[in-house]
């Protein structure tokens, strides 16, 4: 099954889309990877969803990626007398260590780490940024604030601290248990929430121990300050615009999205743009024009994947939302301006043989108007480096390792095929030609270009390219 687009589509599974029948519908509609939100998923349900996806994969004979998204730390208020209170701009409000129910002047804050980390002038946001207070004074047992934006404050609402680096790890005990279980059953990507610094990603990498790719979610302003360091230690990046849009001024989020996307492309790390892309399709059968434009922007930027959240998890039209995302992506990639924009953003190759070969393969394929680039990749690195070039030619990634082909299902432009290792160079070229024809990328008499590492089967040693003709039988 060949997708007529290069950008990939991620669909989140949930109550509206957890049946094997709907999972198959979503894949046929265009989903390349399925996201499972561990905030709402037990280990038993994760195992069931994993099994259902693998059944669809086996039935349709196409590798499918699975991304487990960890919940991360959740900062929440205590409770109030009567369940809620209203605060007004200009008044004072106190957060303290007293567990008694709060009122219109104070509430319990059950996170001692916050008291030692904040300082006067820092902002504290409540309920996804709907309420904002500025800290005026900090004591060991209380934080005094002035209300900037008032409103209703209710039991256990979430907190955001955009100006503060909190001394808490990105992984809670729940996350550690979820991570280990997900990696053990064979998910392909683990998305890490609440990343503030590279050490958060390093901790997750150590626990995953190569069993899955590590995707750092950029949703904290502090992470933007060390973005390059986070990129270096991550396998992929997600632009998590929901929390990022809460903690940053809304008008700055589009520029930050471009900054993160381009930095990830330069580093050769797959980048996912997520959150509220087709939000209205939770209840409506068609998106707004603004949402279509938003999805298109991510595609024009060269993102590896675009993601649906509640639209496919709890919405009324999960398969229609995926089909809409697929249609928008295909339309953008067929636009006359698309190729020029993608090419203008291309980075110079790194001084490695793998990057040099990938750049050369792209140039040869485009100059000779070849039908496809076929790359052999065991670890996945060759496929990712080839994708980094964003060629105007289809890329077929051949791998003998099932886990690699599933992980690469998220990467821009890669059509992944599971195949046995080649015996020698002649077998490698012959196998590449046969698969290119069988998968519908080339016809007899056309040419493809093949890249691989010699000796065969050596991970990360891409050092050979060869132009091959498909025989006319």
Using CA atoms, how far apart are residues 86 and 63, in angstroms rounded to an integer? 52
Catalytic-labelled residue, pool 3, 54, 74, 76: 76
How many CB atoms sit inside 10 A of residue 424's CB? 9
DSSP 7: S
Structure tokens at 125: 């946001």
Cα–chain center distance at 443: 34
Residue for token pair 């993601």:
307
Q: Is 41 annotated in the active site?
A: no
SS3 165: coil
Catalytic-labelled residue, pool 5, 25, 35, 390: 35
Residue for token pair 């992980």:
407
How many CB atoms sit inside 10 A of residue 363's CB? 12
Structure tokens at 295: 């999805």
Alpha-helical runs (H) found in 30-103: 43-60
DSSP 142: E
Cα–chain center distance at 233: 15
Q: Is residue 300 within 8 Å of residue 264, measured between CB atoms?
A: no
Q: What is the dihedral of CA 136, 140, 142, 147, to 10 degrees?
A: 20
Catalytic-labelled residue, pool 217, 220, 241, 390: 217
Angle between helices 173-185 and 43-60 (to 10 degrees): 30
Catalytic-labelled residue, pool 12, 41, 261, 275: 275
Cβ density class 286-314: b for 16+ within 10 Å, e for less? ebeeebbebbbbbbbbbbbbbbbbbbbbe
Q: Is 269 annotated in the active site?
A: no
Please choose, from the candidates 3, 4, 5, 10, the residue with its C-alpha nearest in 3D space to the C-alpha of residue 410: 10
Q: Is 76 annotated in the active site?
A: yes
DSSP track, 424-444 = SHHHHHHHHHHHHHHTTS--T
Residue 69: is the preceding peptide bond cis (ω within 30°)? Answer: no
Q: Is 35 annotated in the active site?
A: yes
Helix (H) / strand (E) element for 331: namely helix 318-333
Using CA atoms, how far apart are residues 154 and 144, in angstroms rounded to an integer? 18
Using CA atoms, how far apart are residues 329 and 320, in angstroms rounded to an integer? 14
Q: Is residue 161 within 8 Å of residue 125, measured between CB atoms?
A: yes
Using CA atoms, how far apart are residues 410 and 63, in angstroms rounded to an integer? 10
The catalytic site residues sit at 35, 76, 217, 275
């Amino acid at each position: 099954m060949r997708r007529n687009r290069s950008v990939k589509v991620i669909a989140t599974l949930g109550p509206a889309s957890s049946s094997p029948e709907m999972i198959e519908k979503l894949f046929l509609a265009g989903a390349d990877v399925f996201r499972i939100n561990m905030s709402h998923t037990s280990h038993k349900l994760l195992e069931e969803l994993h099994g259902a996806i693998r059944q669809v994969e086996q039935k349709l004979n196409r590798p499918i990626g699975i991304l487990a998204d960890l919940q991360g730390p959740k900062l929440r208020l205590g409770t109030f007398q009567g369940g809620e209170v209203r605060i007004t701009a200009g008044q004072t409000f106190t957060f303290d260590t007293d567990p008694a129910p709060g009122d219109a002047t104070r509430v319990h804050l059950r996170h001692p780490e916050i008291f030692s980390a904040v300082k006067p002038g820092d902002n504290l946001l409540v309920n996804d940024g709907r309420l904002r207070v500025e800290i005026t004074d900090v004591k060991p047992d209380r934080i005094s604030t002035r209300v900037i934006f008032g409103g209703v404050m209710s039991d256990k609402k979430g907190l955001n601290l955009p100006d503060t680096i909190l001394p808490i790890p990105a992984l809670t005990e729940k996350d550690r248990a979820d991570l280990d279980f997900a990696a053990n059953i064979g998910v392909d990507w683990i998305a890490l929430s609440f990343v503030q610094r590279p050490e958060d990603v390093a901790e997750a990498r150590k626990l995953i121990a190569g069993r899955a790719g590590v995707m750092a979610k950029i949703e904290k302003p502090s992470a933007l300050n060390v973005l390059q360091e986070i990129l270096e230690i991550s396998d992929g990046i997600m632009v998590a615009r929901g929390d990022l849009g809460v903690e940053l001024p809304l008008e700055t989020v589009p520029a930050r999205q471009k900054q993160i996307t381009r930095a990830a492309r330069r580093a050769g790390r797959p980048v996912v743009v997520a959150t509220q892309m087709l939000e209205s399709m939770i209840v409506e059968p068609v998106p707004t024009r603004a949402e279509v434009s938003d999805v298109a922007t991510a595609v024009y930027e060269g993102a590896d994947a675009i993601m649906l959240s509640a639209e496919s998890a709890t919405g009324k039209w999960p398969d229609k939302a995926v089909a809409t995302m697929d249609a928008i992506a295909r339309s953008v990639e067929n636009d006359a301006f698309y190729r020029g924009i993608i090419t203008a953003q291309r980075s110079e190759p790194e001084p490695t043989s793998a990057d040099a070969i990938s750049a050369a393969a792209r140039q040869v394929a485009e100059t000779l108007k070849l039908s496809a680039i076929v790359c052999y990749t065991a670890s996945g690195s060759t496929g990712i480096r080839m994708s980094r070039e964003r060629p105007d030619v289809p890329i077929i990634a051949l791998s003998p390792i099932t886990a690699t082909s599933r992980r690469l299902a998220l990467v821009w432009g890669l059509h992944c095929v599971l195949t046995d290792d080649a015996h020698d160079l002649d077998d490698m070229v012959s196998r590449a030609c046969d698969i290119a024809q069988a998968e519908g990328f080339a016809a007899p008499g056309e040419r493809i270009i093949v890249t691989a590492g010699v000796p065969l089967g050596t991970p990360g040693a891409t050092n050979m390219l060869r132009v091959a003709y498909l025989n006319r039988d």
